[in-house]
Amino acid sequence: MFFDNVKIVLKAGDGGNGAISFHREKYVARGGPDGGDGGKGGDIIFRVDDGSDTLTFYKYKRKFKAGNGENGASKKFHGKSGEDLVLPVPLGTVIKDAASGLVIKDMSEKEDFVICRGGKGGWGNRHFATPTRQIPRFAKAGITGEEKEVILELKLVADVGLVGMPNVGKSSILSKISRAAPKIADYHFTTLEPSIGVVELSDNRAFVAADIPGLIEGAAEGLGLGHEFLRHVDRCRLLIHVVDVSGSEGRNPVEDIKLINSELARYSSELAGRKQIIAANKYDIAEDTGMLEEFRKYISENSLKAVYVSALTGENLGLLAETAYAELKTLPPIKTYEAEYSEESFEDKANHDVTVTCENGVFIVEGEWLGRIMRNINFDDRESLMYFQKTLRKYGVIDRLADAGAKDGDTVSIYDFEFDYII
């Protein structure tokens, strides 16, 4: 089954904690702090895989995590950085934020994209030594890596899309004008997934064409198979609308054109305005002259461009390809999706994000960054405690407590560490 839409959870690696250590060596007095820094957490990176055309890689695994950075050590040893995690996606994959549905990145170019950044490693205690603080008994914890829930949505990158009712000959035409090998049979819905082929013309000219599975009435609302693949027509600069003008299926080609165009419009008004070439297939076996005349009249009255072809005999298929190439020369480049999702730096957001609530007269302060700091604070050490108090003022925690109504003598609790609030 063609797998082109999936929701996954991503977690970058956490930064390693800085070390609390002091230099110890025979005959060396007062060696001072020598705690090393923690290693950086690994990033999560999306990379275009030329050999892939579906998202099957994500079918059975939905959670991915990069490596954590190692903690620092004594003797100023830096912790090892966590390994990056590279995730492959087909060309044309659109990455969206799962909560808002906004586009984060369109992987329509072969450039790596860092979706989640690993956390920075924490500083060792050697960074906190000053002339007045010579024995810092605290270090900085590593920053937590970014975490996101995203939707991967594959939208094929093709210049031309072949659309039409089931069994009108789309797959046969694609197989004749390109090297694609879609399934072909004399029954409806033989194509269960889009097929892509490169159409090569003379003088090194070429374009990419995609056979989109047959649409039916109600496809935009989820009926039939075609609704699953309407998204793959989004990027196509030109549509080749294939119709059966022979009437062999008991259908009217004019009504088929109207029906398919109606479904395209209901899916996307932009898609409905896309340039079309009508490929009048099975022209070699058309016997109903009345229906054929009605078709020609409709084409003329609506100023449409039609090429009468036969997928069976190959008649005029070269002309169809040349006509499509000529039209492409006049059309804008393949559509790309601009990023809609933006957020402030993860670390900046974490540094300022605190909540203050009052329960039974106790002011409770919570914030992920506070939890990280407190893991490395030695509350029995005066200098370490002073550093903690300075941090609370620097990042506005004291001001937030005042805004919440805290007064002198009130009890403040930060992750089970309680102290009196003093202005």
Kindly report the length of the chain: 423
Residue 93's DSSP bridge partners are 107, 154
Q: How far is the C-alpha of 319 from the C-alpha of 339, rounded, in Å?
A: 39
Q: Rounded distance, CA 388 to CA 397, Å? A: 11
- The tens digit of pLDDT for each residue in 206-231 reads 999 988 875 654 444 444 444 556 77
> How many other CB atoms sit within 10 Å of the CB of residue 279?
27
Sign of torsion over alpha carbons 386, 388, 394, 400: negative
Average pLDDT over residues 364-370: 84
Query: Is residue 347 scored above 70 in pLDDT?
Result: no
Q: Which domains does the chain have, with CATH numbers?
A: 1-155 (2.70.210.12), 160-328 (3.40.50.300), 346-420 (3.30.300.350)
For the chain, percent of residues with pLDDT exceeding 90: 41
- B/e letters for 208-217, b = 16+ CB within 10 Å, e = fewer, are bbbbbbbbbe
Kindly report, residue by residue over 297-307, the tens digit of the pLDDT: 999 999 999 99
CA neighbor of 45 nearest in space, from 148, 122, 143: 148
- pLDDT given at position 193: 63
In the chain, how long is the greatest CA-to-CA distance? 109
Q: Which residues pair with 414 in a beta bridge?
A: 365, 417
- Dist. CA 31–CA 16, nearest whole Å: 24
What is the model's pLDDT at position 173? Answer: 92
Query: Does position 398 have pLDDT exceeding 60, yes or no?
Result: yes
> What are the φ and ψ backbone dihedral angles of 179, each rounded to 5 degrees?
-95, 10
pLDDT at 97 (0 to 100): 92
Alpha carbon distance 422, 393 (integer Å): 12
Higher per-residue confidence, 138 vs 116 = 116
CA distance 351 to 369: 6
Q: What are 49-100's pLDDT values in tens digits? A: 987 878 889 989 999 999 999 999 988 899 999 999 999 999 889 999 998 8
Give the containing element (helix H, strand E) for 258: helix 253-267
304 φ, ψ (degrees, to nearest 5): -95, 155
User: How does DSSP assign 350-396, residue by residue?
Assistant: HHH--EEEEETTEEEEE-HHHHHHHTT--TTSHHHHHHHHHHHHHTT
List Cβ neighbours of 54 (8 Å cut-off, separation of 6 or more).
2, 3, 4, 90, 154, 193
**What average pLDDT does the segment 280-301 reach?**
91
Residue range 345-363: mean pLDDT, rounded: 71
